[in-house]
């Protein structure tokens, strides 16, 4: 497959919050993402006029995590948040080691404890996980520099590894643990 062009970066990913102030406090004060814009809006959406707020928390590359909160409780109930109760549904953000350590400290200082926060050593990266006020799991990832040396091999072998696994060969290929 020839790829002629790729998207530049993630612009934003959006979720619904039941408490925008708790969400703001978590993302600004615990995680460290600045609130970069707040849009107070009213639109005809899905057959009804909806009034809502739309807040964006910025990241270093210009992308953002965005959250909606609706003025009408019925709209709020209709659109969420309904976060899956699974650690396999989460947002992962790349950070450097210093930033990860600082976020870990702020998570602890804010009183988060297991099971709402935990660390996983994946081998190819180290991840700190925490549940936000909406129940969404946010992961802060530091890539292992030695493992990254194999990134070209991962890219080259990705389709074959997928075919192998889907065909029933579930041999582990994470050699970094």
**Listed residue (132, 142, 123) closest to 27, CA to CA:** 132
Q: What pTM does this model have? A: 0.88
Q: Residue 4 above 90 pLDDT?
A: no
Mean pLDDT over 55-61 rounds to 96
Asked whether residue 84 carries a pLDDT value surpassing 60, the answer given is yes
User: Cα–Cα distance between 58 and 12 in angstroms, integer?
Assistant: 9
DSSP state of 176: T
Q: How far is CA 37 from CA 16, 40, 55, 161, in A?
A: 16, 10, 6, 42
Residues in the chain: 177
Cβ atoms of 71 and 52 closer than 8 Å: yes
Mean pLDDT of 36-61: 95
pLDDT tens figures, 116-144: 999 999 999 999 999 999 999 999 999 99
Q: How confident is the model at residue 171 (pLDDT cuts 50, 70, 90)?
A: very high
As a CATH number, domain 12-143 is 3.10.180.10
Helices vs. strands in the chain: H and E counts, helices first:
5, 8
What tens digit of pLDDT does each residue of 87-109 get? Answer: 888 999 999 999 999 999 999 99
Average pLDDT for the chain: 93
Cβ density class 87-97: b for 16+ within 10 Å, e for less: eeebeebebee
φ, ψ for residue 127, nearest 5 deg: -125, 135
Residue 5 is predicted with a pLDDT of: 86
């Amino acid at each position: 497959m020839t790829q002629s062009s790729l998207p530049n970066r993630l612009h934003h990913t959006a979720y619904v919050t039941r408490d925008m102030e708790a969400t703001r406090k978590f993302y600004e004060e615990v995680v460290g993402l600045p609130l970069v814009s707040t849009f107070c809006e009213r639109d005809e959406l899905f057959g009804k006029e909806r009034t809502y707020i739309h807040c964006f928390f910025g990241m270093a590359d210009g992308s953002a995590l965005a959250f909606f909160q609706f003025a009408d409780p019925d709209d709020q109930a209709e659109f969420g948040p309904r976060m899956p109760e699974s650690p396999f549904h989460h947002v992962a953000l790349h950070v450097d080691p210093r930033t990860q350590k600082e976020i870990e400290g702020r998570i602890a200082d804010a009183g988060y404890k297991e099971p709402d926060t935990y660390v996983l050593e994946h081998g190819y990266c180290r991840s700190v996980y925490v549940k936000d006020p909406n129940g969404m799991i946010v992961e802060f990832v530091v890539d292992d520099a030695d493992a990254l040396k194999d990134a070209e091999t991962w890219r080259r072998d990705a389709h074959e590894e997928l075919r192998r696994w889907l065909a029933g060969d579930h041999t582990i290929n994470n050699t970094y643990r």
